A and B are shown apart, each in its own frame.
Chain A
Amino acid sequence: MLDFPRWKVLMLWGVTILVALASLPSLCSVAGLTWPSALPSPMINLGLDLAGGSHILLEADPSQVRQQRLEAMDESVRNKLKTTDATIRISDISNNNGSLTFLVEDVTKVDAVREAILPLTSGAGLTGQRDWNIQVVDGNRFVLTPTQEGIDQAVSQAMDTAVEVVRKRIDGLGTKEPTILRQGAQRIVVQVPGLQDPQQLKALLGQTAKLEFKLVDQSALPSDLARGIAPVGSQIVPYADPKTGGAPIAVKRLGGIRGDELTNAQAGNNPQTNEPVVNITFNTEGGAKFAKLTTQNVGKPFAIILDGKVLSAPNINEPILGGSAQISGHFTAESAGQLAISLRSGALPVDLKVVEERTVGPDLGADSIRKGVIAMAVGTLALVVFIIATYGRLGVYACVALVMNMLMILGVMATIGATLTLPGIAGFVLTIGAAVDANVLINERIREERHRGRRVVAAVETGYKEASRAIFDANVTNVIAAVLMASFGTGPVKGFAVVLMIGIATSVYTSMWLTRMWVAQWLRRARPTDLHL
């Protein structure tokens, strides 16, 4: 137990110094000194509660994904049947009650229809997963119901896309180092350090930015529209701003263009009216579709729809062949800029709602760090005096180990890029108090063994050996609590748990290994016949 060959001594010192050194850049920055930039500089991240900034939790609505899938399936089935066999006629199509239903008019074609749509219903990839269940009831009515696995997968994909879109939008705002993480099945956490006013950010993330160009159904009677009745194949869409736009209009469901085929979107001004507008540029495919739509419908109005609301419904005066267009819709300069960012980063596949928001001012954090440092200094000093007064030489070893422990915690945190939070400061101070426990246990045991008449070396050996069992058990229970804490709660609490876990590991190392090495070296050097305890 007390045998420390040279290589072991070198290794222990090497690890300690290396890890402790990693804490220096962070300590320098707290002390207001500059760390030479030529050297590697691992830094401890400050959590939002210390650095100030905004934390926003967004939640998606999975039922929306379900409806989108139904609508997409509706369109795919129609297209598929049209291209496979022009003689197939289907009717009474509905996607409203959680499944897609339609009638095949010619009963003899039922098998052919089933054959044709079967490939549409299996999942992507090689898993053989079925995304849709097909049922035929009453001989010729098809019922396509999405399976839970299919929906789960679709939600998961939608969330992945949503995270990307959110990231692009926040980058578009030019904010620094945002953290964007998916949390659970349908949530996204956004953290932006330093952001004091999250209103703009929330407005940007709250916009789905699904842009559509659809033909206005001019056959709709205003009286029907007022009662909410749309002609077959059309739907009623309200104006985004009824004051400037007017009453809701009917647009044709099919044959429109989606705004996701864009290569660029920029806010600008209409040269004639000087009104803020958004200039968009289609990609090749979108440009071709847009050219076709405008060529075939010259003289008719078409609606520019954003997130289910009409921005404007201008007449097509002439075919637009250049692949670019201008969207007007009573924008302000700010809302035009926001829409441009949203369009550039693509539409969100699902609507996101803010369910939790925390903003912390910048002064509170700086204040807390300063107070935390003071509390730590006072606590450590008092503790050092107490421990040395109680244990003498062995107490000095315990205290040096304690200081090493503090440096190593910071060093490990800097190296793994852990985040220091407000409760984390408390965790750090608490760890200091708890870390001496191991040495107290050991020293008390040594004292006991000396009273029982053991020689110094034997007493020290027994002390370390017998105490290690309780130290081990106590630390395991602490780790259990810390792990459960890390699995629960928000950033600050997690930060606390991380500090605790690192502290448990480093304190076992410093209080059991380092102090033992120092005691062993002293015993060998001085060969004391009595221990002053």
Chain B
Amino acid sequence: MKLLKLVPDNTNIHFLKWRVPFYFGSLLLMAASLGLVFTKGLNLGVDFVGGQMIRVTFERSAEAPVADLRSEVAKLGYGEPIIQRYGKPNEISIRMKLPEGAEHDAAQSDKMARTITADIKSHHADARIDGVDSVSGKVSKELGWDAFKALGFAALAVAAYIWMRFEWQFGIGALFSLVHDVVLTLGMFALTQMEFDLNIVAALLTLIGYSLNDTIVVYDRVRENLKKYRKMPLPELLDLSVNETLARTIVTSLSMLITLVALLAFGPEVIFGFTAAITLGIFVGTYSSIYMAAPILIWLKVNPKSFVPTETALEKQERLAREGA
């Protein structure tokens, strides 16, 4: 039986030849993503801005009557709702701000949820209420801050670990490549205006762990080759390391993508955004392990000495003798 071979043996692609334009392109993409996040903004869910969210499925309709709903709910006097589809066209979420004073008044926010759900049910017989979330302003602020802290700590902690296991240059390279992955993913959320909630933060945290897998594999090989080929120029050595691990990088990324695409296509709609974030992150992470994490080692001047064990007294004697002669 002939085995499938996606990457031929002994590839010799000069990845790093194009490092400057690619780096420039990546920085541009990052800037664009940040620009989108700041101008268009993230579509923050009730987890982070507070308010009430009601999820509804219209069981016997192909498509949710979004326009009707918008005017019906707006008539109830609780302000303009944000109505958004998620997953299938007949599944929607309705988001509303809590009225003044209802922030801490369970009875009031309860009444609001009841009024809205009753109204929807009276107009649409096939509406199935899938869930109601009410989050007060105080809790949502805390959740936002906690999310920010968790992401920051995670990024720093994994970078510190890489530093500890390799060298400081590798730590910075890893940090840079995962900031790249997270920023691009945020950019996608700003661009598509998919809802950004607690689950997405969990996805970003997952990304921080998993997008680094490729980087670690490449770095591990760089370290090995640095010890093996002491005289090889760094760009060449990095190219060699990336090429040697290329088959693994491709096969692993494909394995992850196979399962993630299955999840996107057949999995629960409610976590579509979550899965999309991880999928994009894995994709970008593969790229960044080659074009973000590797070239930075050249600019930060990694050298083989970092990984050579300090010479013993005997070796020193021999070296001095050689140099003397």
Interchain CB contact under 8 A, A375 and B266: yes
Interchain CA distance A371-B88 in the complex, whole Å: 13
Docked complex: B226-278 residues within 8 A CB-CB of A: 244-245, 247-248, 251-252, 254-263, 265-271, 274-275, 278
The answer to whether B25 has its CB under 8 Å from any CB of chain A is no
The answer to whether B191 has its CB under 8 Å from any CB of chain A is no
For residue B269, which residue of chain A has the nearest CB? Answer: A371
The answer to whether A316 has its CB under 8 Å from any CB of chain B is no
Once A387-B255, A437-B255, A477-B209 are accepted as A-B contacts, the answer to whether A357 and B274 lie under 8 Å apart by CB is: no
Binding site for A on B (CB under 8 A): 1, 3-6, 9-10, 55, 57, 104, 106-107, 109-110, 114, 128-136, 138-139, 143, 146-147, 149-150, 153-154, 157-158, 161-162, 165, 198-199, 201-202, 205-206, 208-210, 212-213, 216-217, 220-221, 224, 244-245, 247-248, 251-252, 254-263, 265-271, 274-275, 278
For residue B166, which residue of chain A has the nearest CB? Answer: A473
For residue A442, which residue of chain B has the nearest CB? Answer: B248
CB 8 Å contact bits of A406-444 with B (1 = contact, 0 = none)? 000000000000000011011101101110110011001
Once A355-B139, A390-B3, A470-B220 are accepted as A-B contacts, the answer to whether A382 and B262 lie under 8 Å apart by CB is: yes
Question: Which of the residues A358, A390, A392, A492 comes within 8 Å of B132, measured between beta carbons?
Answer: A358
Given A361-B130, A423-B202, A484-B154, 6 new contacts (CB under 8 A): A363-B130, A368-B268, A383-B259, A433-B256, A474-B217, A481-B208
Interchain CB contact under 8 A, A425 and B131: no
Going nearest first, the 7 A-B pairs with the smallest beta carbon separation are A481-B209, A379-B262, A433-B259, A368-B268, A354-B106, A375-B267, A379-B259
The answer to whether A453 has its CB under 8 Å from any CB of chain B is no
Can you report 24 residue pairs joining A to B where beta carbons are below 8 Å apart? A199-B110, A354-B104, A358-B132, A361-B55, A361-B129, A361-B130, A364-B270, A367-B268, A379-B258, A379-B260, A379-B263, A437-B213, A437-B252, A441-B217, A473-B165, A474-B216, A477-B158, A477-B213, A481-B206, A482-B209, A485-B206, A488-B147, A489-B143, A533-B3
CB 8 Å contact bits of A338-382 with B (1 = contact, 0 = none)? 000000000000000111111111011001100110111011101
Residues of A within 8 A of B1 (CB): 392, 532
Interchain CB contact under 8 A, A372 and B268: yes
Interchain CA distance A392-B258 in the complex, whole Å: 19
Interchain CA distance A490-B202 in the complex, whole Å: 10
Once A383-B259, A477-B161, A489-B147 are accepted as A-B contacts, the answer to whether A426 and B275 lie under 8 Å apart by CB is: yes
Residues of A within 8 A of B131 (CB): 358-361, 364
Interchain CA distance A269-B130 in the complex, whole Å: 39
The tally of CB-CB contacts under 8 A between chains A and B is 251
Docked complex: A385-407 residues within 8 A CB-CB of B: 386-387, 389-392
Interchain CA distance A329-B205 in the complex, whole Å: 54
Interchain CB contact under 8 A, B201 and A489: yes
Question: Which of the residues A206, A356, A434, A485 comes within 8 Å of B134, measured between beta carbons?
Answer: A356
Interchain CA distance A315-B129 in the complex, whole Å: 51
Interchain CB contact under 8 A, B157 and A484: yes
Once A363-B128, A387-B255, A390-B6 are accepted as A-B contacts, the answer to whether A477 and B212 lie under 8 Å apart by CB is: yes
Interchain CA distance A532-B5 in the complex, whole Å: 12
The answer to whether A469 has its CB under 8 Å from any CB of chain B is yes
Residues of A within 8 A of B136 (CB): 354-356
Once A353-B104, A422-B270, A480-B157 are accepted as A-B contacts, the answer to whether A436 and B252 lie under 8 Å apart by CB is: yes
Interchain CB contact under 8 A, B263 and A429: yes
Interchain CB contact under 8 A, B3 and A444: no
For residue A203, which residue of chain B has the nearest CB? Answer: B107
Residues of B within 8 A of A49 (CB): 270
Interchain CA distance A499-B127 in the complex, whole Å: 33
For residue A369, which residue of chain B has the nearest CB? Answer: B268
Docked complex: A461-503 residues within 8 A CB-CB of B: 466, 469-470, 473-474, 476-482, 484-485, 487-490, 492-493, 496-497, 500
Residues of A within 8 A of B256 (CB): 430, 433-434, 437
Residues of A within 8 A of B257 (CB): 433
Interchain CB contact under 8 A, A485 and B205: yes
Residues of A within 8 A of B255 (CB): 383, 386-387, 433-434, 436-437, 440
* Min distance, Cβ B107 to any Cβ of chain A, angstroms: 7
Interchain CB contact under 8 A, A364 and B259: no
Interchain CA distance A353-B212 in the complex, whole Å: 42
* Min distance, Cβ A486 to any Cβ of chain B, angstroms: 10
Interchain CA distance A38-B120 in the complex, whole Å: 48
Once A356-B136, A423-B199, A444-B251 are accepted as A-B contacts, the answer to whether A430 and B259 lie under 8 Å apart by CB is: yes
Number of interface residues of A (CB under 8 A): 80
Interchain CB contact under 8 A, A478 and B210: yes
The answer to whether A230 has its CB under 8 Å from any CB of chain B is no
The answer to whether A227 has its CB under 8 Å from any CB of chain B is no
* Min distance, Cβ A344 to any Cβ of chain B, angstroms: 22
* Min distance, Cβ A231 to any Cβ of chain B, angstroms: 34
For residue B209, which residue of chain A has the nearest CB? Answer: A481
* Min distance, Cβ B266 to any Cβ of chain A, angstroms: 4
Interchain CA distance A24-B92 in the complex, whole Å: 36
Interchain CA distance A485-B199 in the complex, whole Å: 10
Interchain CB contact under 8 A, A480 and B199: no
Once A426-B271, A470-B220 are accepted as A-B contacts, the answer to whether A392 and B3 lie under 8 Å apart by CB is: yes
For residue A395, which residue of chain B has the nearest CB? Answer: B3
Task: Tell which of A199, A488, A497 has the most Cβ of chain B within 10 Å.
Answer: A488
Interchain CB contact under 8 A, A356 and B139: yes
Residues of B within 8 A of A487 (CB): 150
Interchain CA distance A474-B212 in the complex, whole Å: 7
The answer to whether A448 has its CB under 8 Å from any CB of chain B is yes
Interchain CA distance A488-B110 in the complex, whole Å: 27
For residue A390, which residue of chain B has the nearest CB? Answer: B4
Interchain CA distance A469-B302 in the complex, whole Å: 20
Residues of B within 8 A of A380 (CB): 259
Interchain CA distance A254-B233 in the complex, whole Å: 89
* Min distance, Cβ B108 to any Cβ of chain A, angstroms: 10
* Min distance, Cβ A295 to any Cβ of chain B, angstroms: 41
For residue B114, which residue of chain A has the nearest CB? Answer: A199
Interchain CA distance A513-B17 in the complex, whole Å: 40
Interchain CB contact under 8 A, A425 and B206: no
Question: Which of the residues A59, A378, A480 comes within 8 Å of B262, measured between beta carbons?
Answer: A378
Residues of A within 8 A of B198 (CB): 489-490, 492-493
Interchain CA distance A493-B161 in the complex, whole Å: 24
Interchain CB contact under 8 A, A481 and B133: no
Interchain CB contact under 8 A, B154 and A470: no
Residues of A within 8 A of B266 (CB): 371, 374-375, 378
For residue A359, which residue of chain B has the nearest CB? Answer: B132
* Min distance, Cβ B47 to any Cβ of chain A, angstroms: 8
Residues of B within 8 A of A448 (CB): 244
Residues of A within 8 A of B270 (CB): 49, 364, 368, 422
Interchain CB contact under 8 A, A425 and B267: yes
Interchain CB contact under 8 A, A480 and B158: yes
Interchain CA distance A451-B10 in the complex, whole Å: 9
Residues of A within 8 A of B133 (CB): 357-359
